[in-house]
Amino acid sequence: MRLSHFFTLSLALLFPAIHANAQEADTPPQAVEIKAVRERLVPYKDSYEMAKKLQQASNGHVALGVHLMPTKADVRMDDIRIWLESDEKSIAIKMREGSIFMVPVDDQIAAEKGNYSVNKKKGDLSAAIVILPGVPENEWTIGLMKQVIGEANVAIKKTTPWYLMPLIVSVKSVAVCSKQPNVNVQIMDGVTVIATVATKTAAKNDSGEPVFCAFFDSHTEYADGLHVSVPESAEVLLL
* Secondary structure element (H or E) that encloses residue 214, with its range: strand 210-216
Q: So what's the pLDDT on residue 164?
A: 75
User: Which among 60, 2, 69 has a CA at the least distance from the CA of 237?
Assistant: 2
Residues lower than pLDDT 70 in the chain: 1-41
Distance, in Å, from the CA atom of 54 to the CA atom of 51, rounded to the nearest integer, reads 5
Domain ranges of the chain: 3-133, 142-238
Distance, in Å, from the CA atom of 171 to the CA atom of 216, rounded to the nearest integer, reads 11
Q: So what's the pLDDT on residue 2?
A: 58
Tell me phi and psi for residue 197, to 5 degrees: -120, 135
Q: So what's the pLDDT on residue 34?
A: 31
Q: List beta partners, residue 95.
A: 101
The three-point CA angle 28-30-32 to 5° equals 90
Distance, in Å, from the CA atom of 49 to the CA atom of 18, rounded to the nearest integer, reads 19
Q: Read out DSSP for 137-204? A: TTS-BHHHHHHHHHHHHHHHHHHS-GGGGGG------EEEEESSS--EEEEEETTEEEEEEE--EEEE
pTM of the model: 0.81
Q: So what's the pLDDT on residue 9?
A: 40
Express each pLDDT in 128-181 by its tens digit.
Answer: 889 999 999 999 999 999 999 999 999 988 888 777 777 777 899 999 999 999
Tell me how crowded residue 65 is: count the other CB atoms within 10 A of its CB: 24
> 143: phi > 0 → left, psi -120 to 50 → alpha, else beta; which?
alpha
Q: So what's the pLDDT on residue 41?
A: 58
DSSP 43: B
Q: So what's the pLDDT on residue 166?
A: 77
* Secondary structure element (H or E) that encloses residue 100, with its range: strand 100-102
Tell me how crowded residue 96 is: count the other CB atoms within 10 A of its CB: 15
Whether the Cβ atoms of residue 53 and residue 115 lie closer than 8 Å to each other: no
